[in-house]
Structures are given as structure tokens and as C-alpha cells.
Structure 1
């Protein structure tokens, strides 16, 4: 089964068709059933890598080949998998079961007793991040920044806001503007000034386009804690 297109879900207005959104949700439902089956069969849990490989193999074959060396290609697979895991964890908690989630160890603990304690870690920023399907569509620049910060051990403000601030600087703002209409006006003017016919160059125009795309994503979806 091919993986659906990167499509945001129901946390913000979307341009995508209803059919596309339904296809993504259908994929998530199928992935959720497969993930639960794999975890119930596993003894001692699975790593994220092991789980991905099981989902790629028969009888599931839900996930395609993954380029682990390319963060931008790996991110959508990782995000959807963890979106499903956090959904599943909430469902299992209501039945008195515990799902432990981390890239190195994903394990399900069964119980004969329904605790009735409700959903786990409602204030968990990771849970909030992965349950927000808008983050499935994160720009490549934000993905690479997250990876760099992770390996450098840095804890910074939300990557979407940080990259938006950087993008605003590219367009000549001293700080993030309050309104996207200002961004559009500044972008059009900057592109005209940077056009090769006016002494600019293609690389400069590309940087402006990337900055504009980042700010469009930021103003459309806003900040989400992570």
C-alpha cells in the first residue's frame, strides 16, 4: 500500500479535498490496527526501526521503503507512526493497558484490571505534537532544524516559530510580523527587486521563496508546543 500524500488534518482550515483527508484517516486506521497487532505479538517490545520493518513486511506491507539517511523522507513515516502510537495509547489507557512509547522501546503491558484513571499525560507536549496532524506537513527546513537541535542537545523554542523568525529576517523584517498580508506584500516587493533582470540572481529568489513558504505554514497553522 502506498503512503498517502502529506496532508494536514482537522486542527486548521485545509485546502485539500475531502477524499484526500479521508484517505489519510483510512491509512491511519489501518496502520493503527497493524501496530496494535505487532505490539501484542512482540515479547519485550519493539524499537521504532523493528516496528517499521514489520509494517513493511508481509502480511502488512503498509509502509514503503524508508531512506533512513534522509531526515525529510523519514519524518513523515516517523510522524504517522507516532501519531498512531499516541492515539493507541489513549485508547488502551481506557481499557487499563499501558503503552510505553520511545524510539528505542515501544511496549504494551496488558492488565486484567481496568483502572479507569483516564487518558495518560494530557499535558505531555510530545503527545500534543504528534496528535496534531498539521505537523505531518512540516517544511523540510523545520525538519532539518529539529534533527540538528536533537544531535546538538539543544532545547529551543518551537522549531516552527524559530524558522519563521529566520524566514522573516530573510524577507527583511526585524521581527515576526503580526499579519500574513504584510508578509505577502514584502515578499512580492523582494522578489521584484531580486529578479535577475534587475541585478538579482536565481539563488536569491529561491531563498525568498523558501522563506515565504515557511511563513505561510507558520501563519496558517500557528504554534504547537513540542
Structure 2
């Protein structure tokens, strides 16, 4: 049953990615898979990590399987929560399977990780970017995250990021006319920037 769902997702995800010329973030890809003609994902509370995790895991399992397939025909699949896109491999070099994310690839291709205890899910979602090799997000993902929080470029300090994040979350709060999906998007952007500044501190 799970494998059948994965096969349907492979078709739908590749179709949506080829339609998204400049790529798409994880949240919007999930929304597209929820809508017709796909309707492969049910209703979600985006702030509930326990319910979001199985969807996130299965989607990334599909993405890593698709990336392996595309690499065989000279295409590269960029995978991150902030930007997922198909590109010609000659624009990135190598074989489309960068070693820096191999630990994540191993994790998501292991279907035994589909169901995890609550504390393990919280740890994994909080440290998504770290993986097993403490690799940080790339510049395109970091810049996209900065834009989600209202910056034109990557800020110079994490304090500035925290202040912008707090303001944005307050404005996106449901009591002020916002919604939980907007807050989830802000949380993802904040996590990316937090990983970016953590990596900078380690390198300094």
C-alpha cells in the first residue's frame, strides 16, 4: 500500500516540479499534492509536527528516489524545504549526488524511519539542516529564507533575524488574520537562517 502511494507521488511530484520553472518550496508542493488532480495528501495541521512528519518524510523519500532517477539522464534535483527544483546537471557539476547530503539521502530512503517516536521527530525537525554531517544550507536556500522574513539579502546578524521572525509571527498569528500555514513557513525560514549562522560560527 505504501509503495503504491510512493509510485503515485513520484509521478505527481515530477510533474509539479517540471511545471515550477524556478522551483518550489516544500509547503507549496504539499499544497499542490493536496489539490486535484492529485489529492494524494489529506488535510494537515501544519503546526503539528507529529502529523506533518509522515508527510514530510514520504515526500522527501520520493524526492531522493526521483533525484537518483534524474541523475541517470543528466538532470539534478535540488532538495531543501525552501527550494526544490530540477536542473540540468551540467549547471551544478558532479554526478548530481553531492556527498554533503548523502547522510540525509540514506535517512530518507530508509522506510523504517517513516514512523518515529515523538521525541525523535522533534529532534529531527529541529535539526533538519544539520543531518549527520552538520552541513548547513546553501546560499540560495538561505537567501530565500531571508526573503520569507522580509529581508532583501542575508542579514549580518542572527539577532536581526530573531527580531524579524518575532514580528512576522505576531503579524501572521490567526488572531490577527493570519494562519498556521504562514507560521509554518516562517518557522522553516527561521530554521534555515539559524543553521546558516550556526555554520558561520563553527567556521570562524
TM tier, smaller: 0.5 to 0.7
Residue 49 of structure 1 is matched in structure 2 by 27
TM-score relative to the length of structure 1: 0.52
- The alpha-carbon distance between structure 1 residues 137 and 88, as it changes in their structure 2 partners (threshold 3 A), is same
The list of structure 1 runs, each at least 4 consecutive aligned residues, that deviate by more than 3 angstroms after superposition, is 155-158
Number of paired residues? 131
The equivalences for 1:62-211 within 5 A come to: 62-110=40-88, 120-121=97-98, 124-147=102-125, 149-150=126-127
Unpaired segments ≥5 residues, structure 1: 1-22, 159-226
What's the Cα RMSD here?
2.9
Q: CA separation in 2, counterparts of 1:42 and 1:118?
A: 23
Q: Is the 8 A contact 2:34 2:42 kept in 1?
A: yes
More helix by percentage = 2
Q: CA separation in 1, counterparts of 2:3 and 2:115?
A: 15
Q: CA separation in 2, counterparts of 1:84 and 1:101?
A: 11
Match for residue 29 of structure 1 among 1, 4, 7: 7
User: Once the 2 structures are TM-superposed, how far is the Cα of residue 122 of structure 1 from its aligned partner?
Assistant: 5.9
User: Once the 2 structures are TM-superposed, how far is the Cα of residue 118 of structure 1 from its aligned partner?
Assistant: 5.2
Q: Deviations over 1:168-208 (max 9, x none)?
A: xxxxxxxxxxxxxxxxxxxxxxxxxxxxxxxxxxxxxxxxx
- Residue 127 of structure 2 aligns to a residue whose secondary structure is helix
- Residue 73 of structure 1 aligns to a residue whose secondary structure is helix
TM-score relative to the length of structure 2: 0.57
